[in-house]
């Protein structure tokens, strides 16, 4: 169990607590303004503000250095306002692992956050309110998710080969560029909103190769996206670029990029904010899945109901409150996760949820190690999934301890029940697991079952379906079945025992992997260079070797 040190309860200052805190400790900081700097060398700690947003302030104005400096080690900062003085950054991470959650950063002329020297920095729910640059990743990695950066010079700068993933982040009102990528950097930028810049929205330079997808760049004084000379592996995929200087996407001499832009106004369904074309595309993707006839019918029925309710609302008719939470039951490898992803994107296309993000978690992501920790972890995970789908795999493991006092799974369930009701229109929770165990899970809280709109049973795949799955996997990997192999596979899948450990589609994938290894040994023993046909063909001998 982690040590907990309270400031100012037991220790008058943060520095006092840090001097005695052992590695792994949690330093809780009560509301107030703390005129000090936090500098950590090789420490493993959590700094957690306990008040409402904006009430726990670490103010390093006039002090010589960042409000929070992390040099090596592994540190988490949660719920803090961090303010630095002139020419200093609010946070620096040097060769460190740093998690910054729901913090607000302010710097006079420095940066909100600067990650250097192979640091890994994960920032979620962070707001940068003032500074020269919002976030800087230099030779570092990590994730930036659901952050806000406003009224700085450059929003995000990525340099020295850095490769962070930046998702669902808003960058607005910058005096310079929204995002600047240079020095051979390779960031992934997706579902972001960049607007109101006095220069270009996104600038790519010095041989960098970012992947930018489904990002909205608009109302910029310069071009929306500028790809500089020498940048030859840039991907701009399904982005919207509107109300910018011309050209919307500018390519420098010798630059090469794959660019696909979305239409400014995709055709909606009449009288609604729904994207008809995307709904039909996703339903076709669902139909293309092998088997799952009953599940496909259930999903289509839900989609029909959502669409009709929207039409009723547009006509001024009453519409009852609807839950989008679902229960998926069945054995592993039956497509539960894939269907959950498609369902989330359908809810986005129907205008029910703001985005189709997908957050998959298990027991360890929700359950803590001490009293109060579980509710906090569960709430944090739930908030990260807001606007999309929270998929809880093997949800029944939360109720397995049978009420034992040392287990906090029940606390996670109780927290979920309240959050699901309070935010029923903002998230879709899907719980999944074995059929019988999920019945026990629903009994863990009297209000749990009523939170879900429907239970969908994912049945085991039959031999015909497993052969088709194996065939698709092989085809995607440039293999073909020799004559007679499909029939032999059907016989194998007909005879295999279907107990709790049977993996369905995973079983087919595992078998294909064994056949590929058997083929490799067979071809090596030929004593000659194999032909193209030899390299692509899987034969009965490979199946026998894989199942021997």
Which residues lie across from 40 on neighbouring strands?
A: 70
* Mean pLDDT of all residues in 253-266: 77
Q: State the Cα–Cα distance between residues 413 and 124, nearest whole angstrom.
A: 24
Query: pLDDT: is 412 or 371 the higher one?
Result: 412
Please, which pLDDT band fits residue 404 given cuts at 50, 70 and 90? very low
Q: How many residues does the chain have?
A: 548
Please, which pLDDT band fits residue 265 given cuts at 50, 70 and 90? very low
pLDDT surpasses 90 at 133: yes
* Mean pLDDT of all residues in 90-108: 95
pLDDT surpasses 60 at 273: no
Residue 161 pLDDT = 93
Please, which pLDDT band fits residue 153 given cuts at 50, 70 and 90? very high
Please, which pLDDT band fits residue 2 given cuts at 50, 70 and 90? low
18 in Cβ contact with 37 (< 8 Å): no
* Mean pLDDT of all residues in 393-398: 87
Residue 114 pLDDT = 97
Which residues lie across from 218 on neighbouring strands?
A: 195, 242
Question: Residue 355 burial by CB count (10 A; 0-12/13-18/19+): exposed, middle or buried?
Answer: middle
The helix (run of H) or strand (run of E) holding residue 69 is strand 68-71
Tokens of 265: 């106004």
Q: State the Cα–Cα distance between residues 98 and 42, nearest whole angstrom.
A: 11
| pLDDT above 70 coverage of the chain, percent | 94
Strand pairing of 454-458 and 326-330?
A: parallel
Query: pLDDT: is 309 or 21 the higher one?
Result: 21
Query: pLDDT: is 313 or 222 the higher one?
Result: 222
pLDDT surpasses 90 at 104: yes
Residues 6+ apart with CB under 8 A from 424: 321, 323, 324, 325, 451
Residue 268 pLDDT = 42
Tokens of 541: 């001998």
Q: State the Cα–Cα distance between residues 66 and 36, nearest whole angstrom.
A: 10
Residue 44 pLDDT = 95
* Mean pLDDT of all residues in 439-467: 84
60 in Cβ contact with 66 (< 8 Å): yes
pLDDT, averaged across the chain: 88
Residue 401 pLDDT = 52
pLDDT surpasses 60 at 74: yes
Tell me: the pLDDT tens digits for 341-384? 899 888 888 888 877 778 898 888 888 777 678 888 888 888 88
| pLDDT above 90 coverage of the chain, percent | 45
pLDDT surpasses 90 at 46: yes
Q: CA 74 → CA 98, 164, 169, 381, distances in Å?
A: 6, 18, 24, 20
Instruction: Provide the strand spans (E) within 85-163.
Output: 91-94, 97-101, 104-106, 113-116, 120-124, 127-130, 133-138, 141-145, 148-150, 154-159
Residue 203 pLDDT = 97
Query: pLDDT: is 244 or 312 the higher one?
Result: 244
* Mean pLDDT of all residues in 515-519: 91
Q: Is 247 helix (H, G, I), strand (E, B) or coil?
A: strand
The per-residue DSSP string of 413-439 comes to: HHHHHHHHHHTTTT-EEEEEE-HHHHH
Tell me: the pLDDT tens digits for 6-26? 999 889 999 999 999 999 999
């Amino acid at each position: 169990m982690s040590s907990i040190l309270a400031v100012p309860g037991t220790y008058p200052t943060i520095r006092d607590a840090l001097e005695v805190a052992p590695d792994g400790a949690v330093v809780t900081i009560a509301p107030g303004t703390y005129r000090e700097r936090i500098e950590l060398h090789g420490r493993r700690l959590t700094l957690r503000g306990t008040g409402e947003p904006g009430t726990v302030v670490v103010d390093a104005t006039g002090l010589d250095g960042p409000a929070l400096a992390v040099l090596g080690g592994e540190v988490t900062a949660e719920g803090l306002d961090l303010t630095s003085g002139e020419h200093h950054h609010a946070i620096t991470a040097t060769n460190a692992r740093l998690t910054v959650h729901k913090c607000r950063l302010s710097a006079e002329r420095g940066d909100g956050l600067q990650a250097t020297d192979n640091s890994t920095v994960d920032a979620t729910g962070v707001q940068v309110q003032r500074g020269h640059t919002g976030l800087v990743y230099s030779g570092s990695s990590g994730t930036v998710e659901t952050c806000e950066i406003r009224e700085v010079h450059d929003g995000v700068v990525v340099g020295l080969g850095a490769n962070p993933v930046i998702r669902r982040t808003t960058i607005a009102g910058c005096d310079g560029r929204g995002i600047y990528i240079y020095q051979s950097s390779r960031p992934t930028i997706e579902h972001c909103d960049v607007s109101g810049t006095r220069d270009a929205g996104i600038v790519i330079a010095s041989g960098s190769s970012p992947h930018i997808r489904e990002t909205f760049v608009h109302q910029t004084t310069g071009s929306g996206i500028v790809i500089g000379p020498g940048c030859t592996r840039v991907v701009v995929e399904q982005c919207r670029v509107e109300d910018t200087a011309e050209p919307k996407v500018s390519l420098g001499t010798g630059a090469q990029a794959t660019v696909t832009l979305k239409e400014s106004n995709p055709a909606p369904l009449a009288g609604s904010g729904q994207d008809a074309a995307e709904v039909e595309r996703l339903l076709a993707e669902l139909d293309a899945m092998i088997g799952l006839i009953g599940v496909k019918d259930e999903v289509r029925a839900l989609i029909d109901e959502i669409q009709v309710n929207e039409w009723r609302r547009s006509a001024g008719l009453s519409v009852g409150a609807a839950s989008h939470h679902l229960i998926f039951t069945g054995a592993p490898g039956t497509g539960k996760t894939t269907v959950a992803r498609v369902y989330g994107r359908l809810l986005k296309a129907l205008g029910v949820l703001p985005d189709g993000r997908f957050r998959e978690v298990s027991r360890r992501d929700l359950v803590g190690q001490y009293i109060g920790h579980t509710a906090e972890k569960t709430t944090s995970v739930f908030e990260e999934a807001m606007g999309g789908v929270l998929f809880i795999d093997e949800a029944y493991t939360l109720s397995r301890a049978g009420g034992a006092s040392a287990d906090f799974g029940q606390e996670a369930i109780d927290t979920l029940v309240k959050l699901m009701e309070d935010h029923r229109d903002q998230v879709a929770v899907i719980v999944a697991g074995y059929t019988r165990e999920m019945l026990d899970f629903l009994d863990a809280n009297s209000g749990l079952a009523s939170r879900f709109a429907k239970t969908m049973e994912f049945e085991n795949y039959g031999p015909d379906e497993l052969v088709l799955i194996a065939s698709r996997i092989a085809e995607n990997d440039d293999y073909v079945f020799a004559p007679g192999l499909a029939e032999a596979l059907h016989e194998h899948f007909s005879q295999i025992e279907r107990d709790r450990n049977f993996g369905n589609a995973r079983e087919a994938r595992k078998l294909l992997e064994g056949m590929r290894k058997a083929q490799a040994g067979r071809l090596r023993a030929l004593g000659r260079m194999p032909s193209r046909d030899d390299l692509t063909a899987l034969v009965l001998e490979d199946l026998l070797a894989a199942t021997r």
